[in-house]
Amino acid sequence: MEEIYKLLREVKALPPSPQVLPRVLDALRHEQTTLEEVGELIALDPALTAKLLHYCNSVYFSGREPVASVPEAIGRVGFQTIFSLVSAVTGSKSFNLPAASGLDGTQLWKHSLTTAFGCKFIAEDIGEESNLLFTAGLLHDIGRVVLAQAKGVEYGRLLTEAARTGAKPLEREKAAYGFTHAEVGACLLETWKLPVPLVQAVRFHHQPAATKKWRPASVPAMRWRTSSNIRRKMPARPAWNCNRPWSCSASAAGTWNFTTNRCRKIGIL
């Protein structure tokens, strides 16, 4: 792990820490949290506040009167939607990739956001903490951003070659650097002081069987296959720790289509 922390220290442009996000996540875990308290946390980031009000006043969310404050916005769209918007806005800042890397930051961001919603719907279906798993899905590939910043075109070529030959990118990363993007991402989240289950979810999103202690860590490993199945309204049976079966509900399928359309309309997907 020391090699990874050394890499993080040497990278000139690390993804910015989503400072408001963990505090909002913690606040929403407590039933007694008020609209005003969440609003005060979000207001610590003026740019985030402005974007949030813009989204909540968009055609999709707007009511008869425009909202003028974060508590009003929360009252209109609800805690869960606000958290998803906060995660999306703060997370998007972390996906700026150098042109020299040859990676498409926009595509990586779209993949991460759709993964986040896939994790959220799975979590809601099986009774796990949906906000935490949404964040895990959103940040599961943040290690790729770090490697792109650190290795530039070399990392882009590694991924291109892996795709050309059918090799697993994770194995190519391990062979070339001694660690993977999943491990790099987890270490970055540790430096951000995010919750341990969130760190573990990112660390093991390619190896769900390796994490028996942190059950939610398995959810991001279901992400893309399950998300694709939800979009097609077909059942899925991904591994859950030790091959526990799971199938998506009809309501999850409907919510997937509704939410992705909503994201496109307000401009975050």
For the chain, how many residues are written? 269
Same domain, 130 and 229: yes
From the list 109, 77, 114, the residue with the least C-alpha distance to 95 is 109
Same domain, 157 and 72: no
Same domain, 141 and 65: no
Q: What is the pLDDT of residue 161?
A: 92
Q: What is the pLDDT of residue 168?
A: 92
Boundary residue ending a domain (93, 121, 136):
93
Q: What is the pLDDT of residue 188?
A: 92
Q: How far apart are CA 49 and CA 71, in angstroms?
A: 11
Boundary residue ending a domain (93, 115, 132):
93
Q: What is the pLDDT of residue 83?
A: 82
Ordered per-residue pLDDT tens for the chain, 269 residues: 889 999 998 887 777 767 777 788 788 778 788 888 888 888 777 777 877 888 777 756 666 678 888 888 888 888 888 888 888 887 777 787 877 777 888 888 888 888 888 888 888 887 888 878 888 888 899 999 999 989 989 999 999 999 899 999 999 999 999 999 999 999 999 988 888 888 988 998 888 777 665 555 555 544 444 444 433 333 333 333 323 333 344 444 455 454 555 555 545 55
Same domain, 89 and 190: no
Tell me if 179 sits within 8 A of 170, measured CB to CB: no
Q: What is the pLDDT of residue 245?
A: 33
Same domain, 30 and 114: no
- Structural domains counted in the chain: 2
Same domain, 206 and 189: yes
Q: How far apart are CA 191 and CA 185, in angstroms?
A: 10
87: in domain: yes
10: in domain: no
Boundary residue ending a domain (77, 93, 109):
93
Same domain, 76 and 208: no
Same domain, 113 and 208: yes
Q: What is the pLDDT of residue 241?
A: 32
259: in domain: yes
Mapping DSSP to helix (H, G, I), strand (E, B) and coil, where does residue 151 land? helix
Query: What range defines the domain where residue 21 resides?
Result: 17-93
Q: What is the pLDDT of residue 178?
A: 95
Q: What is the pLDDT of residue 246?
A: 36
Structure tokens at 259: 């939410």
CATH number at residue 266: 1.10.3210.10
Structure tokens at 238: 């991904």
Q: How far apart are CA 112 and CA 189, in angstroms?
A: 16
Same domain, 196 and 227: yes
Angle at the Cα of 215 from the Cα atoms of 170 and 114, rounded to 5 degrees: 60
As to burial, measured by CB atoms within 10 angstroms (0-12 exposed, 13-18 middle, 19+ buried), residue 17 is middle
Same domain, 216 and 102: yes
Mapping DSSP to helix (H, G, I), strand (E, B) and coil, where does residue 207 land? coil
Mapping DSSP to helix (H, G, I), strand (E, B) and coil, where does residue 262 land? helix
Query: In sequence order, what are the residues at sequence separation of 6 or more whose Cβ sits closer than 8 angstroms to the Cβ of residue 55?
Result: 61, 85, 89, 266, 267, 268
Same domain, 122 and 246: yes
Same domain, 141 and 257: yes
Residue type, 82: I
Q: How far apart are CA 120 and CA 205, in angstroms?
A: 15
Mapping DSSP to helix (H, G, I), strand (E, B) and coil, where does residue 240 land? coil
- Answer left, alpha or beta for residue 228, where phi above 0 means left and psi between -120 and 50 means alpha: alpha
Whether the pTM exceeds 0.75: the reply is: no
1: in domain: no
**Residue 140, Cα to own-chain centre: how many angstroms?**
6
Q: What is the pLDDT of residue 59?
A: 54
